[in-house]
Structure 1
Amino acid sequence: MAVTATYPTVDSGKPRATAVTESDGGGPPLRDRLVPPMPTDRIAGWLASLAIAAVAGVLRFWQLTEPRGIYFDEVYYTHDAYGLLTHGYELTDIKSGCNGAGFVVHPPLGKWLMAASEWIFGYTDCADVRHGNPELGWRFASAVAGTLAVLVLARIARRMFRSTLLGCFAGLLLAFDGLEFVQSRIGILDIFLMTGLVLALACLVLDRDHGRARLASRLADTGDAPEGRTRGARFGARLGARPWRLACGLCLGAAMGVKWSAVYTLVGFAALAIAWDAGARRTAGVRRPVLAAVRRDGPQWFASFGALPIIVFFATWTGWFVTDGGYNRHRFGNGTWAALHGWWDYQQQIFRFHEHLDASHPYASKPLSWLVLARPVAYFYSTPKAGEAGCATQAGCSREILAIGNPAIWWVGTLALVGVLALWVSRRDWRAALVLVGFATSFLPWLAFPSRTMFLFYALPLLPFLVLGLTALAGVAMGSRTASDVRRLVGSLTVGIYAIIVVLLFVYFYPIMAAQVIPASAWRVRMWFPGWI
């Protein structure tokens, strides 16, 4: 006898009533176990995601050129971008007359992105002469990256949780986080690193869905039984090309081409990918799922998470290889092998620099303090007097850019990790595993360097995983479609109130994140803790 059933998930009010046939043995069909159906509101889902991204874009591009001039670490990266644009490699600093190759300690890709926007909008040359609109030139690419990350995270959260509502919730949290906002409006590298990791995350989740769907289809085509009783089920079907997996490796290589620290996330994502492959084959009834994953999926797994990221990372140094003036370029002579030797020696020097970076800095902080926002970084600060820069207060004004996260996201998100861990332990939820692995690989490696000089904005790659953790618990709070009306009402109100608090806190801190001129008294009110000053 067969029965039909509808599998509930949290959605935007439009449940997908998919009738499926179950055997008397219980459980949904193989395809729905491997790939639960997506929400049906595809157009509405895109419109909602684009609307949130548009709001994020307006916030990030509005008055992007303020303050005028260079502030904080723009002094390094805008100049490096100009060197790449004009010479193909980074130059010495302007005070030295840009008269040679500069030793830089981060790969070139993020600076190439800045160089592209400088080429379009403007830059400052080595004589400190302005061309076009320099501030827009070196900040435009950051604003694009920060806005893109909001859109991609909203879309991928929708896919992960099979809910347009939860996807929009994730996008909203990222759009209204202060640290992501500030990093999207300054010409430094961290926003490119985070966006690269978000793109890799999206490709990883898409590969999971597409690979499992293809596995279900191949099993249906070959007639392999889910219980794995047929002769061909020992290792399961071959899945063919995995384009999203290759795209994930490409994005991870690109993220490494911005900052080396992306290599830790690469290791975490690679582990998740092979574990998910084994899990899919176990669900499909394969008798030896781990060995099957290695046999059937191993070659593409290695290509995607081993060979391809290295190739992409290497390609980001193309400018150094095809020109003659880069740092260390001819240290070991001419020719291909000499160039490779010089490049490898350069990488070793960069590693030693980071390993021994322990200079004191007033805004330096330790990793554990990042989670509670104990020491945000003041990128810019001035004190206009009455009548200056629009200050209308006799007691004087303050104008600041403070790189600080939204407390409602970082404080609550850190606590939410406990709930996410419980979700993984109790349900073995793959989404909880993704949050925990992504967070751990972006955070734990920093604990291994207790004496190193570090700053809060190094924590930016943690943010997407905190957001996804909060989204997972929001889904639990709201309940499934089979939950009682009271449960769903209370859960939805709680999540809605929390989202409103996130937006209100962003509005409250906006003046001190966007260089707004405000009375000094209003600035002091926003300094909740001594460490914020």
Structure 2
Amino acid sequence: MNRRLAPLSRPINAATAFGAASLALFGFRIATPSTLVFDEVHYVPAARTMLALERAVNTEHPLLGKAIIAAGIALFGDNALGWRFFSALAGSVVVVGVFAAIWLMLGRMRPAVVAALLTMLNFTVFVQARIAMLDGFMAAFVVAALACFAWSARGSGAQVWRRWLAGSILLGLATACKWAAAPYVAFAGIGYLALKWQRPARWPGLSPLVALSILGIASILAYALTFAPAFFYVRDPLTLAALVPFQARMYAEQTQILPAHTYQSSWWTWPLDLRPIWYLYEPVDGAQRGILLLGNPAIMWGGLVAVAACVAGWLRTRAAAFALAAGLWIAGFAVWAAIPKSLGFYYYYYLPSIWLSTALAVAFDWGRDRFRYWDEAFVLLAAVLFVHFYPILAATPLSGPGAFRKWMWLKGWP
């Protein structure tokens, strides 16, 4: 282990440091812009309505993500801080969850620190942590679930099933934010069976039947319980008899044919960072400002090489860390080829983009003897790019309407 990381030798101290640092980074000037941005125009009004328990709105998505936004409004007021505070907290959970998952998978501090830093420096994580959208909450629950499952595999006695139960509940809550998390319930079951078959000593005392039963029952119950507020709506409250038909209604709305959109993109273009989205580009709060949902080019493109390296590492060593690092990205991305959506948008790639940081950390850890300081150099490159693009990620004042051209590297970048 690098001696410069020795002060972070205790995982809980490092996790706390990353949590505080990421929350400070994501939360700095989060109330700017003070107006609703991009899809906040859908979710913030829905949160207001939910807070008042008026009626069902924005019925194409489950309730939990909007309930979390409503909690922010209740705590901090109906303002930009209230709308976005819990998004910043969710972003910090993603960073800490990635750190914890890699530390639990590899048992070494250096790759865990690399993974956490790259997650913080990934533009997609930064931007989604500063906007009141559902994807950030969904991602936080999924990443936290991954950490719980990895923690469960290292437990003993009752710790194993308790931690497995926690991960299962978290996946149910992730799905209650957005249905895009539902495949991760299946991924968890498949991953458990594959890793348990490879090494039966994992998850001691937790048999496949019990593990899969807990996963299925706990995730479904957690998902169902998040609909509780709808039973208290003033107008057309939900009933037990209507709960299942309501799911069919959501599915119909999710799969409806929508008109073409300026920022739509095909799923296969997302890993190449070809079609980012302007969440904001207009004069607001006394200045020209912009927020571009774009992936950090070093992480987006370098991460693809890392996924390939992890596949090669697994073929050579059959090590579980390689399978998990590559499998999370491959499965999380490939599922979008099957999801019946009439339109695709780059922000759908948010969860898979997080797994690129884990693949990079695992790949660098594998090659650390031959490429000793490559991980440090790569983190530095990601940091330089973060600083360069920061003005159009964080809505800082720009020089004028044409200022965006400075950052437009590719033809497809708007």
Q: Tell me the distance in 1 between the aligned counterparts of 2:341 and 2:75.
A: 41
Cα drift, residue 195 of structure 1? 0.6
One-letter identity of the residue aligned with 2:316: S
2:218 paired with 1:308: yes
- Indicate conservation of the 8 Å contact 2:154/2:160, yes or no: no
Q: Tell me the distance in 2 between the aligned counterparts of 1:145 and 1:240.
A: 25
Cα drift, residue 79 of structure 1? 1.0
- Mapping of residues 334-353 of structure 1, within 5 Å: 339-353=239-253
Cα drift, residue 44 of structure 1? 4.5
2:385 paired with 1:502: no
What percentage of residue pairs aligned between the two structures are identical? 27
One-letter identity of the residue aligned with 2:75: I
Q: Tell me the distance in 2 between the aligned counterparts of 1:446 and 1:74.
A: 23
2:399 paired with 1:530: no
Relative to 1, partners in 2 of residues 1:65 and 1:41: Cα closer, same or farther, differing over 3 Å? closer
Cα drift, residue 525 of structure 1? 1.6
Cα drift, residue 177 of structure 1? 0.8
Give the secondary-structure state (helix, strand or coil) at the position aligned to 2:182.
helix
Q: Tell me the distance in 2 between the aligned counterparts of 1:151 and 1:416.
A: 21
Q: Tell me the distance in 1 between the aligned counterparts of 2:159 and 2:19.
A: 35
Q: Deviation per CA, 1:431-488, whole angstroms, max 9, x where unpaired? A: 1221233223322121125762121111111123211110111101213xxxxxxx4x
Give the secondary-structure state (helix, strand or coil) at the position aligned to 2:367.
helix
Cα drift, residue 148 of structure 1? 1.9
2:65 paired with 1:116: no
Q: Tell me the distance in 2 between the aligned counterparts of 1:435 and 1:257.
A: 25
Q: Tell me the distance in 2 between the aligned counterparts of 1:269 and 1:46.
A: 25
Match of 2:372 in 1: 492
Cα drift, residue 296 of structure 1? 6.1
Q: Tell me the distance in 2 between the aligned counterparts of 1:389 and 1:324.
A: 40
- Indicate conservation of the 8 Å contact 2:174/2:181, yes or no: yes
Q: Deviation per CA, 1:124-171, whole angstroms, max 9, x where unpaired? A: xxxxxxxxxx11111001011101211221122122122111111110
Cα drift, residue 409 of structure 1? 0.5
Q: How many residues align?
A: 413
Cα drift, residue 383 of structure 1? 5.0
Relative to 1, partners in 2 of residues 1:431 and 1:241: Cα closer, same or farther, differing over 3 Å? closer
Match of 1:378 in 2: 278
2:36 paired with 1:81: no
Give the secondary-structure state (helix, strand or coil) at the position aligned to 1:530.
coil
Q: Tell me the distance in 1 between the aligned counterparts of 2:323 and 2:228.
A: 36
- Mapping of residues 225-264 of structure 1, within 5 Å: 242-264=161-183
Cα drift, residue 197 of structure 1? 0.6
Indicate which of 455, 462, 471 corresponds to 2:345.
455
Match of 1:513 in 2: 393
Q: Tell me the distance in 2 between the aligned counterparts of 1:353 and 1:441.
A: 25
Q: Tell me the distance in 1 between the aligned counterparts of 2:137 and 2:332.
A: 15
Gaps spanning 5+ residues in structure 1: where? 1-10, 15-38, 92-100, 124-133, 215-238, 285-291, 330-338, 391-397, 480-486
Greater relative CO (CA pairs within 8 A, separation 6+) = 2
Q: Tell me the distance in 2 between the aligned counterparts of 1:451 and 1:103.
A: 17
Indicate which of 389, 404, 411 corresponds to 2:301.
411
Match of 1:336 in 2: none
Match of 1:277 in 2: 196
Relative to 1, partners in 2 of residues 1:241 and 1:382: Cα closer, same or farther, differing over 3 Å? closer
Q: Which moved more, 1:191-200 or 1:40-49?
A: 40-49
One-letter identity of the residue aligned with 2:224: F
Indicate which of 248, 254, 260 corresponds to 1:354.
254
Relative to 1, partners in 2 of residues 1:120 and 1:450: Cα closer, same or farther, differing over 3 Å? closer
One-letter identity of the residue aligned with 2:207: D
2:324 paired with 1:434: yes
- Mapping of residues 318-337 of structure 1, within 5 Å: 318-323=228-233, 325-326=235-236, 329=238
2:26 paired with 1:63: no
Cα drift, residue 241 of structure 1? 5.8
One-letter identity of the residue aligned with 1:104: T
Cα drift, residue 104 of structure 1? 1.4
Indicate which of 156, 160, 172 corresponds to 2:105.
160
Cα drift, residue 13 of structure 1? 4.0
One-letter identity of the residue aligned with 1:466: L
- Indicate conservation of the 8 Å contact 1:413/1:470, yes or no: yes
Match of 1:364 in 2: 264
One-letter identity of the residue aligned with 1:279: Q
Larger fraction in helix: 2
- Indicate conservation of the 8 Å contact 1:250/1:304, yes or no: no
- Indicate conservation of the 8 Å contact 1:376/1:456, yes or no: yes
- Indicate conservation of the 8 Å contact 2:255/2:340, yes or no: no
Cα drift, residue 324 of structure 1? 5.3
Match of 2:290 in 1: 400
- Indicate conservation of the 8 Å contact 2:265/2:275, yes or no: yes
One-letter identity of the residue aligned with 1:78: V
One-letter identity of the residue aligned with 2:231: F
Q: Tell me the distance in 2 between the aligned counterparts of 1:249 and 1:266.
A: 8
2:184 paired with 1:265: yes
Give the secondary-structure state (helix, strand or coil) at the position aligned to 2:199.
helix
Q: Which moved more, 1:431-440 or 1:183-192?
A: 431-440
Relative to 1, partners in 2 of residues 1:206 and 1:350: Cα closer, same or farther, differing over 3 Å? same
For normalisation by structure 1, the TM-score amounts to 0.73
